[in-house]
Amino acid sequence: MNGAQGNSPDKTSDSGSLAARSLRAVWHPCTQMQLHEAAPPVAIDRAQGVWLYGVDGQRYLDGISSWWVNLFGHSHPHIKAALADQLERLDHVMLAGFTHAPVVELSERLGALTGLGHAFYGSDGASATEIALKMSAHYWRNTGRPEKSGFIGLAGGYHGETVGALAVTDIPLFREAYAPLVRLAATVPSPDARGALPGETAVGVARRAAASLQAWLEEHHTHTAALILEPMVQCAAGMAMYDAEYLRLARALCDRFEVHLIADEIAVGFGRTGTMFAHQQAGIRPDFICLSKGLTGGTLPLSAVLTTDAVYAAFYDRDVARGFLHSHSYTGNPLACRAALATLELFDQTDVLAANAQLAQTLDLAFAPLTQHPAIRNARRMGMIWAWDVDPACTTVPFFARRYARHALAHHLLLRPIRNTIYAMPPYALDAETGAHLAQGALAALNATLAEEGPARAVGGPLAPTLSQSAQLPLP
């Protein structure tokens, strides 16, 4: 498939190009800006379905749903129509003292889908994390146990990068510079199935990790407000997947030790792991659910925290100070809520989860050559998330991820490995043809990256045998 499809090539000079102007005017997220001297940002003009169209006339298949937000493809007609209609009626009104149909209907729908309610809105994922942490600690204060204000997270967990969220985000690179600002949470072992001992199953890893959680809670529960975790897949940890047994055991332990369970479904909600919400695979009910990303189908920033009647009741009082005095200017923005409602309507119109299950099987076949590549370890999938670890002996951290992303772009593909883990989290709108493009490009980018890594690694020592084998594989 030819990637050159865009229709508005960037005819401007280099210094006047969008990328150059962006580097002068925009501070890009999660980026060491100096690295852009070698690789400027890719200027995108428009997007349609699974494709992003560059101003340079190239197009790129969005293999990671633009940071895991897009569900049904870009510029979806149903969401666009809903937004256009909403824009005619009501763009925004503050939610303190006012309400409107989109926020009410969305809250009712989310309540029906999750079994929790009292939807509280934020803008991005990190603001949902902040809301859930604050609500949990405030609940214990309101119920006469203010000492229960600590948090626990899983090793490698990621819940956002604002100062409060960093406390439960176990990614030292993101956190270290801000250590004096952060009230660090405790970390217990992850149930990541890749940590299995010889002969151990994923369930065994889950039970072992739960035993560590139990030991920690036995000692610290009196000062602990909540356990926060990403159910089933720790995405930022490199798509660490684990068995639902951990969630069942964690729920039981949280009940036993009177600690809230916060399910951060920001990345894994809305069908990503094969069920509407990932925690549903364990048949449990968390005390808080954080939602964002796919909530609006990838169109507008919106997040929500849902909780139990018991938590809500602890704030319901004559005393203003016992209320949840937290707000953001755009809380419950009508446009964002309407986009979320339109997204949920798309789940009503067809059996998305069943269609995805079928699509995933087709994609498994397309990905087989990548899965069987001699440099690949731990090939895994859950729902619409695929991941492959590249043998560390074949990679140069951190160059591998950058090089791979560059080669993927050359194959008209947006894929950005996390360290040495290649992953795909595409929109649900792929078909056989675009799926083949994704799979072939992902493999070609791996071979090109390994070929480039080869000489670099040779400086430090001999190439691993797997690399020399893989380097001989024919490009698709």
Which range of residues in 34-42, 152-160, 208-216, 449-457 is near ligand PLP by CB under 6 A?
152-160
**Interacting residues with ligand PLP between 197 and 236 (CB under 6 A):** 230, 235-236
Which range of residues in 261-269, 366-374, 402-410, 426-434 is near ligand PLP by CB under 6 A?
261-269
In the numeric block, the tokens 């926060």 are attached to 228
With contacts defined by CB under 6 A, how many residues of the chain interact with ligand PLP?
Answer: 14
Least distance (Å) from ligand PLP to the CB of residue 267?
4
Alpha-carbon torsion (449, 454, 455, 459), positive or negative: positive
Nearest to 91 by CA among 81, 102, 80: 102
List, as one string, the DSSP characters of 13-50. -TTTSHHHHHHHH---TT--GGGGGTSPPPPEEEEEBT
Which range of residues in 19-27, 81-89, 148-156, 262-270 is near ligand PLP by CB under 6 A?
262-270
Least distance (Å) from ligand PLP to the CB of residue 451?
31
Look up residue 5 and give its amino acid. Q
Strand ordering across the sheet containing 260-264 = 117-122, 303-307, 288-291, 260-264, 224-229, 150-154, 186-188
Write each residue from 111 to 140 as x if it is in contact with ligand PLP (CB under 6 A), else as -, in one continuous string.
Answer: -------------xxx--x-----------
Residue 242 in contact with ligand PLP, rule: CB under 6 A: no
Nearer to ligand PLP, 268 or 464 (CB): 268
If phi > 0 it is left, if psi is from -120 to 50 it is alpha, else beta; for residue 383 that is left
Nearer to ligand PLP, 262 or 448 (CB): 262
Nearer to ligand PLP, 6 or 157 (CB): 157
Q: What is the rounded distance in angstroms from the CA atom of residue 109 to the CA atom of residue 305?
A: 13
Residue 267 in contact with ligand PLP, rule: CB under 6 A: yes
- DSSP-derived 3-state class of residue 413: strand
Residue whose Cβ sits closest to ligand PLP: 125
Nearer to ligand PLP, 241 or 266 (CB): 266
- Asked if residues 226 and 151 have their Cβ atoms less than 8 Å apart, the reply is yes
Q: Given candidates 156, 160, 294, 417, which one binds ligand PLP under the rule CB under 6 A?
A: 160
CB atoms within 10 A of CB 292: 27
Residue 241 in contact with ligand PLP, rule: CB under 6 A: no
Nearer to ligand PLP, 54 or 63 (CB): 63
Q: What is the rounded distance in angstroms from the CA atom of residue 25 to the CA atom of residue 19?
A: 10
CB atoms within 10 A of CB 337: 27
Write each residue from 275 to 314 as x if it is in contact with ligand PLP (CB under 6 A), else as -, in one continuous string.
Answer: -----------------x----------------------
List, as one string, the DSSP characters of 155-181. TT----SSHHHHTT---HHHHGGGGGG
Question: Applying CB under 6 A, which residues contact ligand PLP?
Answer: 124-126, 129, 158-160, 230, 235-236, 264, 266-267, 292
